[in-house]
Structures are given as C-alpha cells and as structure tokens.
Amino acid sequence: MTRFNFVNLFAKSLNAHKDWPEQWPDAAPKPAYDAIIVGGGGHGLAAAYYLAKKYGIRNVAVLEKGWIGGGNTGRNTTIIRSNYLYDESAFLYDHAVKLWDGLSKELNYNVMYSKRGVMMLAHNVHDVQSFKRHIHANRLNGVDNEWLSAEEAKAYCPPLSIDPGARHPVLGAALQRRGGTARHDSVAWGYARAAAALGVDIIQNCAVTAIHRGADGAVTGVDTTRGPIRSKRIGVSAAGNSSVLMAMAGLSFPLESYPLQALVSEPVKPIFPCVVMSNTVHAYMSQSDKGELVIGAGTDQYVSYSQRGALHIIEHTLAAINEIFPIFSRMRMLRTWGGIVDVTPDRSPIIGKTPVPGLYVNCGWGTGGFKATPGAGDLLAHTMAKDEPHSINAAYHLDRFRNGRLIDEAAAAAVAH
C-alpha cells in the first residue's frame, strides 16, 4: 500500500511565529509552510510535485476538502487533445500533451495514457470549413491535425455511421492522432505519490474556511477545518469552488459554476478504437480499459454547485450517440455522474497571479481541465516559484476581462471540451 505524507497539522516542528496575525491571538504555534496548494485534484497535486521537483520547494502542503481524486478529477471523461484554434490555446494544451507523453515514466506510475486519436466529426459545411481552418492553424503552430473524408473516418472508427440520409450526416472529420485518453484517478494518485516522496504533505478532509491577509495586503495563511496554517505563498486550484475561495481573500472573479454530466455503459469487449466528438450534436465517446463506453454531455443551462445535472441533458446526449453510432442503440447504461466546472466569459482558464500578493490561482477551465493537468500544474508551479507567469500562461491573466484581450476558444470551436 502506497504511503503518503498525510499529516497531523500540529505535529510539525515550527518556526517562530512573532508575525502571526492578530486575528489568531492564541499563543499556540501554527504549522508553517513555504507554499500551500488548495485543492488535491490533478492540477493541485501536479503543481505541488513540480514545485518540489523543479524548484526545490518541498515544504508544501496540499489541502483537500475531501479525498484525493474524489473531486472533478474522478468525474471527467479522460480526453486528451491539443487541437485548439488560437495560438494561446494551442501552446497551452500542447505543452500539456508533451508532458502526458512521458508522464508514466516521470512518475513511475502508469497513468494509462493511450494515443488512440481524437476525431472530431463535421456534419455540415460550416463544420467542414471550421475544422479545416483548425487544421491549418494547428500545423502552423506545430500541432498535428489532419482531415479525413467520411470514408476515411469510417475506416478509422468502424462503429461510426456515415449514412448520408442521417439527420446529421458525417461529411468528414479532423483527426489528432496524438490525442487520446488517460485514467483520471491514476493521474491524481501518481502525482500524489511522487509529490509525497519529495516531502510534500498531503492533507485530506481539510477544507479551507478563510484566507488571511496581513497589514500590507499579502496573504499570511489560511483557516481550515483542521486548524490554521500559515504561509506567505498560496496557490488555489480547486475546480468548482474557485470563486468562493477568492471571495475569502476579498476578490471577485468572473466565474460561474455549472454541472457537467457524463455516463458509462455496461462493459463490452474492445470495439471502439478512438475518441469521437461531435460539436453539432454535442456528444462524445470513447471506451475505457474496463470496456465501458464513456459518454460525455454538455454543461447544464443553469448555474449550480450540484453534482447532479438535468435529465434532459442525458437524454439529448444519448439520442445523439444513437444517431451517430446506431450499433450501440441497445446498450444499457451503467451509471451517470456530474462534476462542477468553473466557467469564465471566454471559456478559457485563468492561470497566474492575483491582485493579492502571494496569492495565485488556476481556475476557469470549464470542460477542458483534465487534458491540461500536467501543463496546468507545471505552469502554476512556475508562477508560484518565480512570482511571474511562464510565457505560455502569460496571456491567461485576470486583466484580460478588463482590457478585452479574450481567448474565446468556445466561440471558435462551438465546444471547448
């Protein structure tokens, strides 16, 4: 059984606490860390690992309100790709894909990254023009992407129906062969084990209830359900709860939270060789290593912190899947689930510094967070260690919502999964 540094907060030997804020007047010493990461999902654990591995910052605490891998990391559809239109998006996601490529070896833990290919279906003239534009833009940025005819798409994914009489006939597809899937909880546990081996403390069942600031406005520590902890460097990477945590520091963020649903079928023998996405009907599917067909839906139309979405979203998604893959019309569904996604006005993330000194944030990924896991963690770690963004995440600052330099990938692609 793997051992982690799951610590008792008050068991550490502590430094002097003469500068401890007056709002915590008791004389008892408080645990002190060089950095705190709020959120024990894939992004947060990756950030802690890279802080320790690349920058030698090992006195780090990862605070998770539940259990490792129990949040959005365990509620996604495991898709990995980087075929985004805009330069900023292509650089960001391709940075992540390159890290995915050697991640199992890096962590000495099998994250089950499978380059099975991600195919995006075109159903009308607009789709064809949009995807060909994507392909050309991707190639200019060194990102692989290619156009397939309907017949070539059928050959790549035999269960696909290319019946010209279908309600949404397949006219072709864009294929990124480096795209694919990984096992979501393996990624979380792989990063957790590797970070713990470098000295990072992983504290489960420890929700942050307050973020404290000193007289100069900089962060000084947090209150948690297991006691106060001090640090002058705090990174927040907590999907679905970022706006709540930012409010604790007196910040208002342009985020809305929505339920995002998915479901899996009963397991069957290997039949589905890749990932197929359809923007027009908004459904996507792959097959897990356990044999389940993993089916993803869109976000609900209402804001909510619920992890159960509306039934009509599931019905719409299954109807779409049956139209594209009639062979699966008699499959039985095994279970459904929902996660909570933070969404920004341009459906692109915020990664960088905040107006509060010592407070950093990684949020707003919407439906694209899993595929970015290693890249997001690496970039957050760089920003926290250097107190300045990496060139890849420099454009993903909070000020873009004031100056209008948005990265509106959702408008470019009709879907940002």
Note whether 175 and 145 are within 8 A (CB).
yes
Residue 98 lies in a domain: no
Q: Give the confidence band of 8 by pLDDT, cuts at 50, 70, 90.
A: very low
Q: Are residues 339 and 265 in the same domain?
A: yes
Pick the closest to residue 64 from 241, 244, 204, 236 (CA basis): 204
Final residue of a structural domain among 343, 372, 399 = 343
- Domain extent for 269: 118-177+256-343
Report the pLDDT value the prediction gives residue 412, as an integer from 0 to 100: 65
Supply the DSSP string of 166-178, one letter for each residue: SSS---EEEEETT
Q: Are residues 172 and 260 in the same domain?
A: yes
Q: Are residues 338 and 261 in the same domain?
A: yes
| Dihedral, 129, 77, 350, 109 alpha carbons, nearest 10 | -120
Q: What is the pLDDT of residues 122-152, one digit of tens each?
A: 999 999 999 999 999 999 999 999 999 999 9
The two tokens of residue 233 are 């460097």
pLDDT at 21 over 70: no
Q: Give the confidence band of 411 by pLDDT, cuts at 50, 70, 90.
A: low
What is the percent of the chain with per-residue pLDDT over 70, rounded to a whole number? 91
C-alpha of 52 from chain center: 21
Report the pLDDT value the prediction gives residue 75, as an integer from 0 to 100: 82
The two tokens of residue 329 are 């019309």
For 376, the enclosing helix (H) or strand (E) is helix 373-386
Q: Which residue has the higher pLDDT, 261 or 35?
A: 35
Q: How far apart are CA 377 and CA 285, in angstroms?
A: 26
For 417, the enclosing helix (H) or strand (E) is none
Q: Are residues 260 and 173 in the same domain?
A: yes
Q: Which residue has the higher pLDDT, 307 or 159?
A: 159
pLDDT at 310 over 70: yes
Q: In what order do the strands lie in the sheet with 229-230?
A: 208-213, 219-224, 229-230
Report the pLDDT value the prediction gives residue 97, as an integer from 0 to 100: 97
* 303: CATH: 3.30.9.10
Residue 283 lies in a domain: yes
* 43: CATH: 3.50.50.60
β-pairing, 118-122 vs 275-278, is parallel
How many domains, the chain?
2
Report the pLDDT value the prediction gives residue 413, as an integer from 0 to 100: 57
Mean pLDDT of 190-215: 97
- Tokens 């510094």, residue located: 353
Residue 11 lies in a domain: no
Mean pLDDT of 292-303: 87
Residue 173 lies in a domain: yes
pLDDT at 208 over 90: yes
Mean pLDDT of the chain: 90
pLDDT at 25 over 80: no
Q: Are residues 211 and 229 in the same domain?
A: yes
Final residue of a structural domain among 284, 310, 343 = 343
Report the pLDDT value the prediction gives residue 259, as an integer from 0 to 100: 87
Report the pLDDT value the prediction gives residue 15, as an integer from 0 to 100: 36
Note whether 145 and 302 are within 8 A (CB).
no
Q: Give the confidence band of 24 by pLDDT, cuts at 50, 70, 90.
A: very low
Residue 22 lies in a domain: no
Q: Are residues 261 and 238 in the same domain?
A: no
Q: Are residues 277 and 289 in the same domain?
A: yes
Dihedral pair phi/psi, residue 353, rounded to 5°: -80, 155
Q: Are residues 173 and 273 in the same domain?
A: yes
Q: Give the confidence band of 303 by pLDDT, cuts at 50, 70, 90.
A: confident
For residue 78, give Cα distances in angstroms to 6, 25, 39, 243, 266. 27, 46, 19, 25, 18
Residue 103 lies in a domain: no
Q: Give the confidence band of 117 by pLDDT, cuts at 50, 70, 90.
A: very high
Q: Which residues contact 88 (CB under 8 A, 6 or more apart)?
A: 348, 395, 396, 407
Q: What is the pLDDT of residues 64-111, one digit of tens each?
A: 999 998 888 888 889 999 999 999 999 999 999 999 999 999 999 999
Q: Which residue has the higher pLDDT, 411 or 99?
A: 99
* 258-276 exposure pattern, b = at least 16 Cβ within 10 A, e = fewer: bbbbbbbbeeeeeebebbb
Mean pLDDT of 41-53: 97
- Surface-to-core class of residue 101, CB atoms within 10 Å of its CB (0-12 exposed, 13-18 middle, 19+ buried): middle
pLDDT at 22 over 50: no
Q: How far apart are CA 234 and CA 50, in angstroms?
A: 15
Question: Rounded to 5 degrees, what angle do the CA atoms 119, 79, 408 make?
Answer: 80
Q: Are residues 226 and 361 in the same domain?
A: yes
Q: Are residues 309 and 289 in the same domain?
A: yes
Residue 80 lies in a domain: no
Residue 330 lies in a domain: yes
pLDDT at 13 over 50: no
Q: What is the pLDDT of residues 244-278, one digit of tens each?
A: 999 999 999 999 988 888 999 999 999 999 999 99
Q: Are residues 275 and 331 in the same domain?
A: yes
- Tokens 């899993």, residue located: 370
Dihedral pair phi/psi, residue 92, rounded to 5°: -65, -55
Q: Give the confidence band of 214 by pLDDT, cuts at 50, 70, 90.
A: very high
Report the pLDDT value the prediction gives residue 338, as an integer from 0 to 100: 84
Q: Are residues 368 and 246 in the same domain?
A: yes
Give the number of other Cβ atoms within 10 Å of residue 242's Cβ: 23
Q: How far apart are CA 204 and CA 47, in angstroms?
A: 17
Mean pLDDT of 284-294: 95
Q: What is the pLDDT of residues 362-401, one digit of tens each?
A: 999 988 899 999 999 999 999 999 999 999 999 999 999 9
Note whether 357 and 364 are within 8 A (CB).
no
Amino acid letter for position 191? Y
Final residue of a structural domain among 314, 343, 372 = 343
Pick the closest to residue 231 from 409, 35, 16 (CA basis): 35
Q: Which residues contact 215 (CB under 8 A, 6 or more apart)?
A: none
